[in-house]
Structure 1
Amino acid sequence: MRFNDLSSKELIDLTTGSRLGVLGQTDLEVDEKTGQILSFTIPQYSMFGLRKTETYSRIDWKQIKKIGDDMIIVETDQI
Structure 2
Amino acid sequence: MRLSEMNGKEIIDLKKGERMGVLGQADLEIDENTGHIKAFLIPTMKWFGFKKNGTEVRIPWRNIKKIGSDMIIIDFNDEF
Q: Please report the TM-score for the alignment, with normalisation by the length of structure 1.
A: 0.91
Distance in 1 separating the partners of 2:34 and 2:55: 28
CA-based RMSD:
1.3
Q: Superposed, which structure 2 residues align to 1:1-79 within 5 Å? A: 1-47=1-47, 50-53=49-52, 54-78=54-78
| Paired amino acid for 2:46 | S
| Paired amino acid for 2:51 | K
Distance in 2 separating the partners of 1:38 and 1:67: 15
CA drift of 1:5 comes to 0.3
1:16-50 deviations in whole A, cap 9, x for unaligned? Answer: 00100000111110001100000011111234x53
Distance in 2 separating the partners of 1:45 and 1:77: 18
CA drift of 1:55 comes to 1.5
Identical amino acids, percent of aligned pairs? 50
What is the count of residue pairs matched by the alignment?
A: 78
Q: Give the unaligned 5+ runs of structure 2.
A: none
Distance in 2 separating the partners of 1:14 and 1:38: 19
